[in-house]
Structure 1
Amino acid sequence: MIDHTGVTVSDYGRSKAFYEAALGTLGYGCLAEFSAEVTGHTDVAGFGEKASGKPDFWLSVGTPNQPPIHIAFRADSRAAVEAFHAAAVLAGGRDNGEPGLRPHYHPHYYGAFVLDPDGHNIEAVCHHPG
């Protein structure tokens, strides 16, 4: 089981604002933040489910991952997937797949994709019917 993961971003402030807006629709928030003085090398922000209090997705400043990576976040409803997509695009993300069914994965796979400011493919997905 994965405990945490993250991406390296080129513009910390821009990316932090993007993820706060996009992931906020899924109940995620910035739960921890440490400066380069604390980490010894870079500023970092840890996002996680607000209810858990534990960060599991981290941003750090540096040369963005190449090639960009794909990360999918679980959504509790199709409406949350739609809210994620709208908020992410409004926050500067680029559409990479509007909300909708992807039955080639399974009959209830409902997802939406956006490219973050550094081109990472970020997805919200709901596996529940209707």
Structure 2
Amino acid sequence: MFDHVVFGVSDYAASKAFFLKALEPLGIEVVHERPDGIELSSDGKVSLCLLQTEEKPAHLHLAFVAESRQQVEAFHRAALAAGGKDHGAPGLRPHYHANYYAAFVIDPDGHNIEVVCHRPEA
């Protein structure tokens, strides 16, 4: 839905490590890196950019699409292993719709990171 999203992080090294490990199950990898920032993508087009900043950014909610419920679960495990804090274990959220299967974690800067699969269970 978007071309790219850029947001500031207070500890670039910690955020880089967190996002690389947490989003690895989704096939997201480094597209470009410079000393104070990184661009991540799974398709080489749409990207997520993290930049070191001293500003206090408002909390952000980022939701990534998963192709399967297993990817949602793998993201949750990887994100917790990378130092994320649980903010909603993998599971159905039927108040959104019948097949909304998602997991939520809080990243090193307090941002709410979600991975969601909209498909029925295989």
TM-score scaled by length of structure 1: 0.88
1:32-62 superposed Cα distances (whole Å, 9 cap, x missing partner):
1123xxxxxxx1100100xx22351000001
- Structure 2 unaligned runs (5+)? none
- 1:4 partnered with 2:4: yes
Partner of 1:47: 40
How many residues are aligned here?
Answer: 120
Change (3 A) 1:64 1:84: farther
What secondary structure, in the 3-state scheme, does the structure 2 residue paired with 1:25 have?
A: helix
What secondary structure, in the 3-state scheme, does the structure 1 residue paired with 2:99 have?
A: coil
Partner of 1:96: 87
CA distance in 1, matches of 2:65, 2:17: 20
What secondary structure, in the 3-state scheme, does the structure 1 residue paired with 2:15 have?
A: helix
Partner of 1:38: none
What secondary structure, in the 3-state scheme, does the structure 1 residue paired with 2:71 have?
A: helix
Deviation at 1:2, TM superposition (A): 2.0
Partner of 2:103: 112
Alignment RMSD: 1.1
1:67-97 superposed Cα distances (whole Å, 9 cap, x missing partner):
x110000000000000000100110000000
**Moved segments of 4+, more than 6 Å:** none
Partner amino acid, structure 2, of 1:13: A
- Structure 1 unaligned runs (5+)? 36-42
Change (3 A) 1:88 1:64: farther
Partner of 2:52: 61
Q: Sequence identity of aligned pairs in percent?
A: 52
